[in-house]
């Protein structure tokens, strides 16, 4: 029987067309963190590579930061807000269960009435959104997709937890994904390992507050050594698989943009992947901290803005974190 359904009209390929970022005004040095934990600047830098991070003020909400980053990405892509066909927001720090913050952001950027939803995939959230955006453009359900990674992790930081107090920062990064006449986004290698879910988690669930009003506000906690080993050994394999799926070798790469979790993890992955010295490596974590879903687009935006990377470069991006979840792909920079 012949189908009577008209096929969707998608693009042959998809690409990242523009990128934008927003970092909160307030810069927090390690010295400020040390007021709450027994540690030292040297210890924090040696363990994480972090010297400063940005923390949002009262007016720098998840929505406000997202709108700023999105506006820059839309302008960089050379399109109008009305052309946005879908809005995807990756975040774990929007505290309302419903409605999705993506709907508010879509309205505030002037995107009209596109489908809009949130993605809860921790530090791999941006990679998940990027993959869905690519499939939307190729599948024909949207011509241009706005993908945002945004976090206010300062709201979920336990300043007395010596293992995590210095790690997290705030910010928003955004990209516009649109049609391309040539391959510019490779296959995504993504997945989850739920048996390791307890290694990165929120300390208590929100529903605890129904009966235990004296419970300390939730924070993000993690088993540092377990996460480090998993990221270094297992995520390097995923990154290599993404290169293989895209038909790209380490020598073909121009840029490596891993999730900005920890400088030691980044450096170990570079070594394991045997990346040539010619490859530009994002090390935004030093001044931005770990911004979870926002870290990759923020690092991408900074590399392009400073000239450390250029339009047309071939980049390997990989996000990994709570879940445990991961997503890696090779892209052409906008």
* Residue positions annotated with a catalytic role: 123, 259, 290
Contacts of 190 (CB under 8 A, 6+ apart): 124, 127, 128, 131, 325, 326, 327, 328
For residue 244, CA distances in Å to 134, 190, 238, 278 come to 19, 14, 10, 19
Q: What angle do CA 214, 216, 217 make, to 5 degrees?
A: 120
Structure-token pair, residue 307: 């000239």
Q: What is the b/e burial string over 88-124, where b = at least 16 CB atoms within 10 angstroms of the residue's CB?
A: bbbbbbbeeeeebbbbbbbbebebeebebbbbebbbb
For residue 133, the SS3 value is helix
Residue 231 to residue 268: CA distance in whole angstroms: 9
Helix residue ranges, H only, 78-145? 101-108, 125-139
Burial class (CB in 10 A: 0-12, 13-18, 19+), 252: middle
Q: Which of 316, 156, 297 is nearest to 235 (CA)?
A: 316
Identify any residues that bridge with 155 across adjacent strands, giving them in sequence order.
none
């Amino acid at each position: 029987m012949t189908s009577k359904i008209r096929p969707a009209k998608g693009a042959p390929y998809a690409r990242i067309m523009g990128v934008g970022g927003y970092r909160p005004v307030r810069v927090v040095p390690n010295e400020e963190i040390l007021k709450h934990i027994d540690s030292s600047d040297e210890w924090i830098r040696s363990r994480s590579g972090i010297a400063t991070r940005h923390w949002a003020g009262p007016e720098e909400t998840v929505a406000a930061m997202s709108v700023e980053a999105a506006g820059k990405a839309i302008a960089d892509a050379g399109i109008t807000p009305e052309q946005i066909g879908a809005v995807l927001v990756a975040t774990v720090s929007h505290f309302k269960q419903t409605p999705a913050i993506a709907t508010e952001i879509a309205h505030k950027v002037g995107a009209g009435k596109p489908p809009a939803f949130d993605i809860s995939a921790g530090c791999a959230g941006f990679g998940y959104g990027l993959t869905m955006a690519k499939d939307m453009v190729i599948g024909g359900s949207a011509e241009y997709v706005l993908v945002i990674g945004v976090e206010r992790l300062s709201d979920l930081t336990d300043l007395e937890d010596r293992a995590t107090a210095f790690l997290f920062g705030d910010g928003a990064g955004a990209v516009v994904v649109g049609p391309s006449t040539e391959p510019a986004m490779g296959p995504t290698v993504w997945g989850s390992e739920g048996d390791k879910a307890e290694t990165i988690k929120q300390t208590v669930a929100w529903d605890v507050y129904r009966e235990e009003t004296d419970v300390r506000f939730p924070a993000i906690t993690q088993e540092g050594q377990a996460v480090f080993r998993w990221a270094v050994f297992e995520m390097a394999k995923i990154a290599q698989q993404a290169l293989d799926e895209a038909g790209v070798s380490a020598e073909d790469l121009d840029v490596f943009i891993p999730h900005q979790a920890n400088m030691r993890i980044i450096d170990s992955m570079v070594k394991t992947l045997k990346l040539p010295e010619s490859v530009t490596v994002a090390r935004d974590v030093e001044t931005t901290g770990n911004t979870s879903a926002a870290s990759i687009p923020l690092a991408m935006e900074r590399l392009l803005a400073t000239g450390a990377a250029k339009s047309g470069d071939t980049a390997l991006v990989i996000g990994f974190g709570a879940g445990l979840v991961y997503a890696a792909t090779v892209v052409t920079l906008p």
